[in-house]
Every structure is written in structure tokens, then in C-alpha cells.
Structure 1
Amino acid sequence: MTSSAWVGERVRLRAKEPEDWEAFHAFDEDSDAVRSGWRLTPPASVARAKKTAIEHAEEELDLDEFSLVIATRTDNAPVGSINTHAIDRVHGTFSYGIAVGTPHHRKGYASEAIVLTLRYMFFERRFQKAEAWVYGYNDASLALHRRLGFVEEGRRRRSHYADGRYHDEVLFGMTIEEYTERYA
């Protein structure tokens, strides 16, 4: 039996498929969860959700900057997504973002998806540091990153506006050495 670098105990990271539109469209109904991930936007139509899913499924593959579905290992159902961005090949750093649908919170999906993504970026793509920005009001994500061993490196005060107020953004970082000590 072969093993995949993209499969953990609970989740598999996979490419987006057109049929994923329904799950992600449903996740977007929870305004608080959407706000915690990035920013709240007006509702999308079913037609727009389907079109966007098709466009994402057909995007060209980039080895360093990508977006993947977090799916359950048992039935391949979408529970969220993880993406890499802010790629800096000169300094060997990257950032990532993660979102898990509200019905799937607190099941270990996010932590496993992050660990799998970091392993790929560190050991296959030769990056040396991962960074994540977390909104100061997102207590669950702040706790998750601390639990995973990320180091709080800084705070941008009042740099994010949501729900009628300005909020801080907290920068977390993890080096390849910190990852290796904990997970390899």
C-alpha cells in the first residue's frame, strides 16, 4: 500500500472540484466564521458559486502558491480549505490561510491540514519559515496556532475592520527547525 503526503489520520488535502461548490456555498452562510477568515461579502448566487468552483478547479497548478480543499479522509467530503500565499523565495518564507466550516470545528481538521501543508512546504519546496496572520478576536485560531507551536512574533494594531470595529492582527511564525523538533 502506498502512502500520500497529502493524507493524515482525519483529513486529505486535495484539489478543488466543481462539485465542491455546495459545501463552500453553505459555509459562507455563517457570517461570523467568514469574518474570522477574511472579510464578509454579499451573498453569492448558486450560479456564481458553481462558476467559481469550476474556475478554481481549472486553475493552473502552482507548486508554491496553491489552494486546497480540506476533506475528510473517510468520505472525501469538503470541510474547509487551506491556501499558501505571500511566497518569498529569496528569504524562504510563506504565509498560509485556513478556513474550516462551522459544522466541522474542533475535530482536529485544521491542525492536521496545517501540519501536512507545512511538511510539504518545508521538506518538498525548501522553505524555512511559515507565517500566519490571525485576527485578534479569533480566539479559536489564536489558541490553535499556540497549541501547534507557533511563536507570536508581533501585532499590527487596529489594522483590520470587521463588525463595526477595528481589530488587531497577530503574526505567528514557525521555522523549519521548530517544526522538525515538534513533528518530524
Structure 2
Amino acid sequence: MPRLYGERIMLREYQAEDLAHMREWVNDPEVVNNLSDIFLYPHTMGETESFLQSILDKEGEHRGFVIADKESGAYIGQIDLFKFDWKNRAAELGIVIGSRQWQGQGYGAEAIGVLQRFVFEQLNMNRLQLEVHDYNARAIRCYQKCGFTEEGRLRQRHYRNGIYSDIIVMSILRSEYEQMMKG
């Protein structure tokens, strides 16, 4: 995939050098508590290396980008596409701003906007969806700002720290994206 550019960020290819940056957040409870259960157990260096190598080798249909500072190329986070459904023109996204110094500054929303342009205008998808924990209010606001709409809940689907919480399914359709771009 080519590099994609926003105002302050670029979505670039994963590189072997990204391993150190991934290791900074992959076992950080404040970051991974908002992510999927693949982060339930601590990740070893080998597991992180294997994940990165699978991306570099383009194994499977998981595709993604590193979110990087446009000027310096510094690692900010990751935004990935997976669960491609080519017949029905749909995909799912996952995003993490791993380094706390970059959180809360709109980099996630900008990265999602750049990715939406790619998904709808280059890949010709009709639907982009994601899942988010109901307690992740900051992420939900970001996704809403990016045009995503809540379309359902998996009630008490997630258990962490002694509490069951909902997983919210959100999506944006190509027609909604196009309308958002017009106005």
C-alpha cells in the first residue's frame, strides 16, 4: 500500500524499527484496557516480533499502517484494516495511539479520516465498521466526530476488572462519508 498523507500525519508502512515503539505500549494497562482481549495476557517480545513479521510478510488479509508524524516519521500509533468482505465491500478497522505523548491531540481522528478516504475512494468499500468498549468515552467521541454511527451493542460482552461492559458496534457507510465530505 502507498503512503497516505493528512495535515499532520502520514500513514506509512510498518518497518522493523517499529518494534521498539510497539513494545512501549503493548503491555501498558492504560492503553490495552481499551483494546481487544488479545491483550488479556502480557505479550512477550517474541509475540510482538511475530505479529510485526506477519505484517511485514503480508500474511493473511490483515493490512495496516503506522500512524506517523508527517515531518519526522516518528511513530504515533497504528491503524489497521481486517475482516475484509470483498463481496459485500466491507472491512473493519482497529486503531491505537500507543504513545501517551500523542494521545488526546486529534491524531486518531486525523488518521481515521485519511484511512476513510483510502477505504472509500481507493478500495471501493461501502462499509467500514469497528467495535469499541462502552466505557471508552474518548474513543466513542472520536468515532462520532469521524462520522461513525452506533448501530448495535453486544450487551455485557466484555469482562474486565470485575465488571461486564457492552461492546458497541459502530459503522460508517460510503454514502455517509460522501455526505460528510460535502458539508
> Shorter-chain TM-score: what band?
0.7 to 0.9
Gaps of 5+ in 1: none
What's the counterpart of residue 4 of structure 2?
6
Moved over 4 A (4+): none
Which residue number corresponds to residue 125 of structure 1?
A: 123
Gaps of 5+ in 2: none
Taking the aligned partners of 1:91 and 1:51, their CA distance within structure 2 comes to 33
**Alpha-carbon displacement from aligned partner over 1:7-58 (angstroms, at most 9, x marks no partner):** 1111111111111111111112420211202133443444x26733651453
- Residues 3, 11 of structure 2: 8 Å contact kept: no
- Does residue 87 of the first structure (1) align with residue 84 of the second (2)? yes
CA distance in 2 between partners of 1:23 and 1:145 (Å): 24
What letter matches 1:133 in structure 2? E
Q: 1:136 — aligned with what?
A: 134
Paired AA for residue 34 in structure 2? S
3-state SS of the aligned residue for 1:80? Answer: strand
> How far apart are residue 179 of structure 1 and its match?
0.8
Where does residue 110 of structure 1 map in the other structure? 108
1:175 is displaced (CA, Å) by 0.9
- How many Å apart are 1:65 and its aligned residue? 3.9
Residue-pair matches, total = 179
Q: State the TM-score, normalized to the length of structure 1.
A: 0.87
Tell me, yes or no, if the aligned pair for 1:18 and 1:57 is still in contact at 8 Å.
Answer: no
Report the RMSD for the aligned CA atoms in angstroms. Answer: 2.1
Report the equivalent of 2:23: 25
Q: Is the alpha carbon distance of 1:54 and 1:141 closer, same or farther for their aligned partners in structure 2, counting shifts above 3 Å?
A: closer
How far apart, CA to CA, are the structure 2 residues paired with 1:58 and 1:118?
22
Matching of residues 23-172 of structure 1 within 5 Å: 23-39=21-37, 40-46=39-45, 48=46, 51-52=49-50, 55-56=53-54, 58-60=56-58, 65-101=62-98, 102-172=100-170
